[in-house]
């Protein structure tokens, strides 16, 4: 790898990098920094998340800035987390270049303070598209003096719906600017932005496009949807040193999953859009310090989270877009360390694994959810290793240690082992619950629900509303919250429909469907009290509907 001192950076910047412990440039930095230093042409740089893109675009901009008190550069980021992280890194890069002032502007914080920071003579602004556009409307940001604009994580900004904001911002900038677009993937929308607002483009690509990092392995567990949380617990218990992110599809699921994990004693917290900026900052600070070992997050909330030592990423739900999987898995395996991306999938989602393998160019390994017996054996193994490797060199001469050692000398080994296992493994030893096998066959397709696992629901839609089983499946699968829910027997009648779902998802189904409509009619869904034969006594007719008379 090339040394930073050989790239052409000033003594001030090199001193800052040295204080940060940076000596060697990453591949994207090695390619991008010299290019931006010597060229005024626009640049598209493609590299996976966590490869050092921030330094790749910011260091040469810092070197070339005139530092004349005018706004010279704007860096656009998809999230406030990434905005804060980028601005903090920039402040460290310019710690020995006092004439450069940096302002961070993003939603969720008082705008008056951000306006004040900009008006104090910011040379460089790091911001989210929405807040930057707002400051342009307020005549706070004057973009006429801009020399550089950076679109950081451009694919994520477009995925999050910032296209209109980007169009408005870029149209305000002078044609003479240099546009630097950095992205992990080159989607059609990113290509569209490039073709519209960039000219005379040079493209740098580090590694293959749309593929996962080489040092990340990919695994999946095949389970019934109703066993998803139990499978997650066993996976976490079987990896006691896990430090990672669990990805959920919705804010509600993110919050409920984090709360359930905490209830079972896991060091977990939620991160989603409804959490205040203050709480997000506290959560991320605790996560970086490893006081929290598991972050349960949505895709949007996790964007901008840059923690280099993550051991695992767990897809509690597969993302809707293949590119989102690339972003998720790219959050582990950073800084030349290995990582594992785990997906928990149901049999009906199995085909998505094949699509993802083609997308990232890597094979997934199917794994078996460990039994509780296996988990306990693994926990005991880790516990014994920790005990054997305990460094007591500093305690041997400690007076309290010597006294306690003497007082416990008559404690039987068997009693000590029982105490340790009870204290450390009590949450795993559930003698009143059968050690069920959670694994499904790849060919298994369950079209029914077992008695006791189901709840019977009633809809105010029937044949007269042109409603049929296909329409019901469409309602369920078109909802992110309900997608993948197992539906049992369906009985479509003239005025209403009866159907069964997993008992633990019944309330979510009712709540979700009651917000919807079918062909202009508001849906009313409730639990069936049995007054209309919820046993589904009408046989195959219920699935076929009425036959037309000829």
Q: If you ran DSSP here, which 8-state letter would residue 162 be given?
A: -
Whether CATH 3.40.50.720 fits 4-205:
no
Return the ∠ at Cα 439 (arms to 433 and 444), rounded to 5°.
Answer: 125
Helices (H), 239-336: 251-263, 277-288, 299-302, 322-329
Judge if 4-205 and 454-544 fold alike in CATH terms: no
Tokens of 379: 């926990």
Q: Where are the domains of the chain?
A: 4-205, 454-544
CA angle, 286 then 289 then 291, to 5° = 60
Which tokens in the block code for residue 114? Answer: 């951000």
> Would you call 72 helix, strand, or coil by DSSP?
coil
| Structure token pair of residue 345 | 């999938």
Map 430-468 to HEC letters. Answer: CCCCCCCCCECCCCCCCCCCCCCCEEEEEECCCHHHCCC
Report d(CA 237, CA 234) in Å as an integer. 5
pLDDT of 78? 87
- The residues facing 313 across adjacent strands are 245, 341
Q: Tell me, what's the pLDDT at 352?
A: 87
Q: Is 17 in a helix, a strand, or coil?
A: helix
pLDDT in tens, the chain (550 residues): 688 988 889 999 999 999 988 888 888 999 999 999 999 999 999 887 667 889 999 999 999 998 888 999 999 998 887 888 899 999 999 998 878 999 999 987 889 999 999 999 999 999 999 999 999 999 999 999 999 999 998 887 887 788 899 999 999 999 999 999 998 777 777 888 888 889 889 998 886 444 445 789 999 999 998 899 999 999 999 998 899 999 998 889 999 999 999 998 899 999 987 888 788 888 988 998 999 999 999 987 786 677 778 999 999 999 877 778 888 888 887 766 789 999 999 888 888 898 888 878 889 999 999 998 888 888 888 888 877 877 777 666 777 777 887 788 888 878 877 777 776 665 555 544 567 889 987 544 444 455 567 889 999 999 899 898 888 888 887 777 776 677 878 888 989 999 988 888 889 899 999 988 888 899 999 998 764 444 454 443 334 344 444 4
Q: Is 275:78 a contact under the CB 8 Å cutoff?
A: no
Q: How confident is the model at residue 396, as a pLDDT?
A: 66
Q: Are 191 and 163 in contact (CB under 8 A)?
A: no
User: Which distant-in-sequence residues (6+ apart) come within 8 Å of 271 by Cβ?
Assistant: 254, 280, 283, 284, 295, 296, 297, 298, 301, 302, 305
Per-residue pLDDT at 432: 41
pTM beyond 0.75, yes or no:
no
| CATH number for the domain whose boundaries are 454-544 | 3.30.70.330
Distance between CA 224 and CA 486 in Å, rounded? 9
The first and second tokens of residue 191, run together, are 């290509």
Spatial strand order in the sheet of 454-459: 487-492, 497-502, 454-459, 525-527
Confidence at residue 451, expressed as pLDDT on a 0 to 100 scale: 59
| Alpha carbon distance 166, 159 (integer Å) | 12
């Amino acid at each position: 790898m090339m040394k930073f001192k050989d790239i052409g950076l000033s003594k001030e910047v090199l001193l800052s990098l040295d204080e940060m412990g940076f000596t060697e440039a990453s591949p994207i930095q090695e390619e991008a920094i010299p290019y931006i230093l010597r060229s005024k042409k626009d640049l598209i740089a493609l590299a996976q998340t966590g490869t050092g893109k921030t330094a790749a675009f910011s260091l040469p901009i810092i070197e070339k800035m005139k530092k004349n008190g005018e706004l010279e550069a704007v860096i656009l980021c998809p999230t406030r987390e990434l905005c804060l992280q980028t601005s903090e890194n920039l402040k460290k890069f310019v710690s020995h270049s006092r004439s450069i002032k940096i302002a961070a502007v993003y939603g969720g914080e008082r705008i008056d303070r951000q306006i004040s920071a900009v008006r104090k003579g910011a040379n460089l602004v790091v911001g989210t598209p929405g807040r930057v556009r707002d400051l342009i409307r307020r005549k706070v940001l004057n973009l006429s003096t801009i020399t550089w604009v950076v679109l950081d994580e451009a694919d994520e900004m477009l995925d999050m719906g910032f296209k209109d904001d980007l169009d408005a911002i870029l149209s305000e900038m002078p044609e003479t600017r240099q546009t630097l677009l950095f992205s992990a993937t080159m989607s059609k929308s990113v290509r569209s932005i490039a073709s519209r607002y960039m000219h005379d483009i040079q493209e740098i690509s580090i590694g293959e496009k749309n593929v996962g990092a080489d040092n990340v392995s990919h695994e999946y567990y095949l389970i019934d949807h109703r066993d998803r949380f139990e499978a997650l617990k066993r996976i976490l218990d079987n990896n006691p040193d896990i430090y990672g992110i669990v990805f959920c599809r919705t804010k509600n699921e993110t919050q409920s999953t984090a709360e359930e994990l905490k209830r079972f004693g896991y060091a977990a917290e939620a991160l989603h859009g409804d959490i205040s900026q203050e709480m997000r900052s506290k959560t991320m600070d605790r996560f970086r310090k490893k006081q929290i070992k598991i972050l349960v997050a949505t895709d949007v909330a996790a964007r901008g989270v840059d923690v280099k030592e993550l051991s695992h990423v767990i897809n509690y739900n597969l993302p809707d877009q293949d590119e989102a999987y690339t972003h998720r898995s790219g959050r582990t395996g950073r800084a030349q360390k290995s990582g594992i991306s785990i997906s928990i999938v149901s049999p009906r989602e199995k085909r998505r694994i094949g699509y993802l393998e083609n997308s990232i160019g890597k094979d997934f390994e199917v794994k078996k959810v460990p039994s509780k017996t296996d988990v306990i054996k693994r926990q005991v193994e880790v516990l014994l290793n920790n005990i054997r490797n305990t460094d007591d060199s500093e305690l041997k001469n400690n007076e309290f240690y010597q006294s306690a050692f003497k007082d416990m000398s008559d404690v039987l080994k068997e009693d000590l082992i029982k105490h340790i296992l009870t204290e450390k493994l009590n949450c795993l030893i559930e003698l009143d619950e059968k050690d069920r096998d959670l694994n499904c066959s790849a060919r298994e397709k369950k079209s029914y629900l077992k008695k006791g696992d189901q709840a019977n629901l009633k809809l105010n839609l029937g044949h007269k509303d042109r409603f049929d089983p296909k329409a019901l499946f469409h309602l369920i699968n078109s909802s992110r919250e309900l997608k993948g829910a197992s539906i049992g027997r369906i009985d479509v009648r003239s005025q209403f429909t009866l159907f069964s779902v997993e008992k633990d998802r019944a309330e979510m189904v009712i709540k979700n469907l009651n917000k919807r409509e079918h062909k202009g009619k508001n849906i009313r869904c409730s639990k069936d009290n049995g007054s209309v034969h919820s046993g589904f006594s009408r046989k195959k007719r219920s699935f076929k509907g009425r036959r037309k008379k000829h």
